[in-house]
C-alpha cells in the first residue's frame, strides 16, 4: 500500500503525476483555503505534505498529526514552519533554495527600476486620461545607473541582485548582513560591507532580501526610515514583517522617502490600507519567483523532497538535517 501525501495548494499536473508514481495523493487543485483545524483534519493519515507560506506547521498541528513525517515548503522562505517543533516531533522540513535565485533577483531589480522611475504612478496617470502635454519634470524619478544600492541580506538572491547592479548598471553596491562575504564573493558581487546605519544613510536605493525571523521583524521601522535620504527608495522582496508597513506608509505620505516597491506585506494577502492611499509605492502580490519555469522547478523540488525522504530517508534540501526517517 502506498503512503498518502497531501498537496496543500494547486500545483502543475505533471508534478502531481510524479507524486502519484510513489504515493496516494490528496490534492487541492480547487485551491480551498483551510483554517488550522481544517488543515489538521486534512493531514490525518498523511505521511507527507507540500505547503506554501499560507499553511502554518507548528507544535499544535504536529501533536494532532502523528503520521506526518515530512513537510516540503514550496518556497525558499519558511517562516510558516516552526522548525524546532518539527525537529522535536521528528518531522523533516524542507524548502526550495537555488531554483528561484535568478528569477527572484530579476524581479527585485525590476521592482527597483519601477520604483525609482515612477512607472506605476505614470501608468495610472496615462490610464486616467490625465496626460495632456509633456513637461521636462513630468514623473522625473531617481537615477539607477551609477547610483548607490544598499542590500540588506546578502544570501544567494542578494548576491544575484548585487551582480546585476554592479556589472550591469555600474552601481556602487554596499551591503549589510549577519556575516561578511568572503573577499572572493565580494569581488564577484562588486559589493562592500558596511554597518546598517551607514547603509541606510548612504544608499540611494535600499533592497531588502533578509530572511524573516523574530530577530529580523521590523528591520525597517520608523527609526530606520528616518535615517534614509528623502530622495531614496526602499524595495522589499524578502518577507512581510521585515518592514513596519504602517511606518512606511506614513513616511511615503509625508515624502520622507521618495518611494517604495513592495512584493510582500505584513498579514498578506491583507494590506495596510494606508499603502493603497499613497501614490509613490509600487505594489505587487508576492510574485518575485513567478515565472512558469521557476514555479515548476519549485513545485517539482518540493515533490522530489517528499519522494526522496519517504523512499530513501534523506531529503534533497533539508532544513533540519538531523531528522531521521521514522
Q: Which positions are annotated as active-site residues?
A: 239, 268, 286
d(CA 37, CA 88) in angstroms, rounded, equals 21
Cα distance between residue 33 and residue 39, in whole Å: 9
Among 211, 221, 177, 183, smallest CA distance to 195 is for: 177
CA end-to-end span of the chain, whole Å?
Answer: 17
DSSP, res 274:
G
CA atoms of 272 and 211, how far apart (whole Å): 21
Find, among 4, 96, 98, 5, the residue nearest to 50 by Cα. 5
Amino acid at each position: 500500500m502506498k503512503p498518502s501525501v497531501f498537496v496543500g495548494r494547486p500545483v502543475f499536473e505533471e508534478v502531481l503525476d510524479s507524486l502519484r508514481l510513489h504515493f496516494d495523493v490528496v490534492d487541492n487543485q480547487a485551491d480551498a483555503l483551510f483554517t488550522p483545524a481544517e488543515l489538521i483534519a486534512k493531514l490525518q493519515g498523511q505521511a507527507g505534505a507540500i505547503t506554501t507560506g499560507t499553511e502554518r506547521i507548528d507544535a499544535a498541528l504536529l501533536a494532532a498529526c502523528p503520521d506526518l513525517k515530512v513537510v516540503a515548503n514550496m518556497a525558499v522562505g519558511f517562516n510558516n514552519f516552526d522548525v524546532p517543533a518539527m525537529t522535536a516531533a521528528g518531522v523533516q522540513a524542507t524548502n526550495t533554495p537555488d531554483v528561484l535565485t535568478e528569477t527572484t533577483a530579476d524581479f527585485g531589480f525590476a521592482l527597483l527600476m519601477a520604483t525609482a522611475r515612477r512607472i506605476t504612478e505614470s501608468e495610472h496617470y496615462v490610464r486616467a486620461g490625465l496626460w495632456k502635454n509633456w513637461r521636462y519634470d513630468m514623473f522625473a524619478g531617481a537615477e539607477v545607473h551609477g547610483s548607490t544600492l544598499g542590500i540588506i541580506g546578502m544570501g544567494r538572491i542578494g548576491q544575484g541582485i548585487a551582480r546585476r547592479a554592479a556589472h550591469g548598471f555600474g552601481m556602487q553596491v554596499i551591503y549589510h548582513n549577519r556575516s561578511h562575504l568572503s573577499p572572493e564573493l565580494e569581488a564577484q558581487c562588486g559589493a562592500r560591507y558596511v554597518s546598517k546605519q551607514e547603509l541606510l544613510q548612504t544608499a540611494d536605493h535600499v533592497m531588502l532580501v533578509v530572511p524573516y525571523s523574530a530577530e529580523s521583524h521590523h528591520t525597517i521601522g520608523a527609526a530606520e526610515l528616518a535615517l534614509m535620504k528623502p530622495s531614496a527608495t526602499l524595495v522589499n522582496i524578502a518577507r512581510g514583517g521585515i518592514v513596519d508597513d504602517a511606518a512606511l506608509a506614513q513616511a511615503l505620505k509625508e515624502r520622507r522617502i521618495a518611494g517604495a516597491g513592495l512584493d510582500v506585506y505584513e498579514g498578506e494577502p491583507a494590506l495596510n490600507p494606508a499603502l493603497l492611499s499613497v501614490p509613490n509605492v509600487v505594489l505587487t502580490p508576492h510574485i518575485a519567483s513567478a515565472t512558469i519555469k521557476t514555479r515548476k522547478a519549485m513545485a517539482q523540488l518540493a515533490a522530489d523532497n517528499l519522494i526522496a525522504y519517504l523512499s530513501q530517508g534523506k531529503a534533497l534540501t533539508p532544513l533540519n538535517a538531523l531528522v531521521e526517517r521514522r
